[in-house]
Amino acid sequence: MAGSSLAAGDIVAICLYFAAVIAAGIYSLCRSNRGTVSGYFLAGRFMTWLPVGASLFASNIGSEHFIGLAGSGAASGIGVGAFEFNACILVQMMGWLFLPVFIASGVHTLPEYMKKRFHGNRIRIYLACLSILLYVFTKISVNLYSGALFIQQSLGWNLYLSILLLLVLTALCTVTGGLAAVIYTDTLQAFVMVAGASVLAVMSFLKVGGYQGLREQYPLAIANETLYSNSTCGLPSEKAFTMLRGLTDPDMPWLGFLLGQTPASIWYWSTDQMMVQRALAAKSLSHAQGGCLLCGYLKMLPLFIIIMPGMISRVLYPNEVACSDPQTCYEVCQSTSGCSNIAYPKLVLGIMPQGLRGIMMAVMLAALMSDLTSIFNSASTLITMDIYRHIRKKAKNRELMIVGRLFVLVMVGISIVWIPVIQEFQGGQLFIYIQVISAHLAPPIAAVYLLAILWKRATEKGVFWGLMIGLVIGLTRMVLEFVYKEPLCGEPDTRPLILSQVHYMYFALGLFWVVGATMVVISLLTAPTPNDRLIRTTFWTRYDKGVHPDDRLLADYTGVNADKVGDTSENEPPQSSQHHLIEKIEMDKINLEDKETIANEIETEDVEIRERSLRGYCVRGFNWFCGFESDPEKAAEFEAHLKGLTALKQDPRAKKALVTMLVFISILTAFLYGFFSAGS
């Protein structure tokens, strides 16, 4: 491809970017306490609003957004921007509805919250496994494919060699510093992504004569093979500049989006471990909500700096980006479904001067790495805290963290195998592929968390069997999607009616309400959840000062007065009794996962590792690098801070300012929806 070679300035920009990322990772090694589960997986819960908000944004805007959003913009216009505006509101739902409950309950993971809310492990393990499945199909595989696609278009590198090199650097950032390293690097990468994409957007609009020029030229952006044929394939949508469209629109039906797609998005923004884990790392509820607000405002940018530039790419390069003939498309991008996914890299290589291509290369690498580091950390958290610890109840800190890291390799392997499926799905629109998969599996998750938090009468049996019914229905349609491939343009649609006549957003709407109704009916027919299980596990009881059963049993083994478990003034157990405490727990063999948390958090280094010898220093250095070495004083400090968070105390002035910003972002988002949905 012309212009694929990098100039000296490009190489310098990429090297500076990698140096900055590595520096951020080293900073996290020295600053964070990674020797405990809380320190490694939740960054000690000492993050302020700025890195929390930047990490939420960077974790969301991966390379699949640059490739997928720009590609969908090139294919059908600004309609896909509705997903971004929807996120502005849903991330606030996480901050004001879900987070107060998750923080008050004192959990590390969301499946752990389900255990605390309903008791039993089957819901917890199922949700952890389903989340990992979604990570493989909608996150890791998509990120690897989109990142490799950009590198392939720009440099012509071998696809899988590029993936391997990126995975190595991503793994180093993730496995050494834990969530702290992820958040620090995400903060850097968020600024890099916004700055780089903004520069490209300005240059793109100048190229086509501004927004008005785009409106005039986009309807004319048609590939040559379409101009000289009788086919209507490849023609731009007449509603390209309208965001929410008619009830039966194939791209963005307004009713299906608002009522059907929203539940799937609630899963991602409010109940997905990857996103919530960043907010749980905040030092207080106010900082968590401030981070959500920052992320919400940043989510207004992709329409202008990613989607519209994708439309401009079609204007500038219609023969490649807008191709509709399968043979021509395969020659351009090795896909018969369409080449809209190359819109963004094509734009970068076509209009950016050589000195700036390296910056955009760094932007794409930043997007890829920020998303992958977030996914890897969250996936290892789920497998460690919710699955492996249930199987190996006596597993210690070192074993838990090693298993979590090794499991990531398995996920990556499966994701790479899945990449060929993505290439030929949904007419070549990568972002739509993500939404379709989410619509099949995510609505039941949204239903269960909403009921658990807002309805005290929800029961374990009702929730579990509702999830099972939702899984059967969702998997049935998802399998049909893969068996009956969407026809190419001009081909007859011979798929079953459930696929050809029911838009995936309307399917998500039906699935959400079927699962919700099932949970309600079964819950009403079964015995109610004991009242003590509701203590600090619902929105209505988040300030409850009572003692949750899990907290009472935990208190019995820490020496803390059970009546003060919810009180921030409680004292830590004496350090001198730590080893006796571990022995007592192991001798009693109580079947409680919390006992392992106690034993793990107070675990200290073996005496012989501390010997002043070459071997001892090497081992200690390795343990420090991997986060196996724990500082007991910092561990105790983190635990005391964690207990203080559950009180949900907020400064009145900060709370008033946060509410004001919440009202403002809600009004602004509604205005943007109305403005762009009233387009002609």
The pLDDT tens digits for 508-524 are 999 999 999 999 999 99
Which residues in 292-320 are b (16+ Cβ under 10 Å) and which e? bbbbbbbbbbbbbbbbbbbbbbbbbbbbb
Q: Identify which of 343, 548, 318 has the alpha carbon closest to the alpha carbon of residue 429.
A: 343
Mean pLDDT of all residues in 83-93: 94
Convert the pLDDT of each residue in 157-183 to its tens digit.
665 666 676 677 666 555 554 445 667
d(CA 324, CA 427): 10
pLDDT computed for residue 383 by the predictor: 81
Bigger pLDDT: 322 vs 664: 664
Q: Round to whole Å and give the CA distance between 288 and 654.
A: 12
Taking residues 45-51, report their average pLDDT.
Answer: 83
Distance separating alpha carbons of residues 205 and 212, to the nearest angstrom:
9
Span 274-301, mean pLDDT? 91
| Local structure of residue 424 (DSSP, 8 states) | T
- Please check whether residue 449 is in contact with residue 479, taking contact to mean a CB–CB distance below 8 angstroms: no
Q: What whole-number percentage of the chain has pLDDT above 70?
A: 72
Who has greater pLDDT, 647 or 203? 203
pLDDT for the residue 171: 62
Rounded alpha-carbon distances, angstroms, from residue 235 to 222, 309, 679 = 6, 18, 19
Count Cβ atoms below 10 Å from residue 532 Cβ, excluding itself.
15
Most confident of 18-22, 246-250, 356-360: 246-250
Residue type, 239: K
Q: Which pLDDT tens digit goes with each residue over 55-69?
A: 899 888 877 788 889
Terminal-to-terminal C-alpha distance of the chain: 37
Q: What is the pLDDT of residue 281?
A: 84
Q: Which of 139, 68, 59 is nearest to 412 (CA)?
A: 139
Quote the pLDDT of residue 474: 94
pLDDT at 300: 95
Q: How many beta carbons lie within 10 A of that of residue 355, not counting itself?
A: 13
| Mean pLDDT score across all residues of the chain | 78
Task: Give the per-residue pLDDT at 526.
Answer: 95
**Distance (Å) of CA 331 to CA 324, 491, 606:** 12, 20, 61
In the predicted structure, residue 533 carries a pLDDT above the cut 80: yes
Q: What residues contact 680, with CB distance under 8 A and at least 6 apart?
A: 241, 242
Interatomic CA distance for residues 42 and 32, integer angstroms: 10
pLDDT in the model for residue 137: 81
Q: Which of 3-12, 111-120, 484-493 has the lowest mean pLDDT?
A: 3-12
C-alpha–C-alpha distance, residues 663 and 652, integer Å: 17
Which residue, among 378, 6, 424, 341, has the nearest Cα to 148 in the 3D structure?
Answer: 341
Tell me if 604 sits within 8 A of 630, measured CB to CB: yes
The stretch 279-301 carries a mean pLDDT of 92
| pLDDT over threshold 90, residue 658 | yes
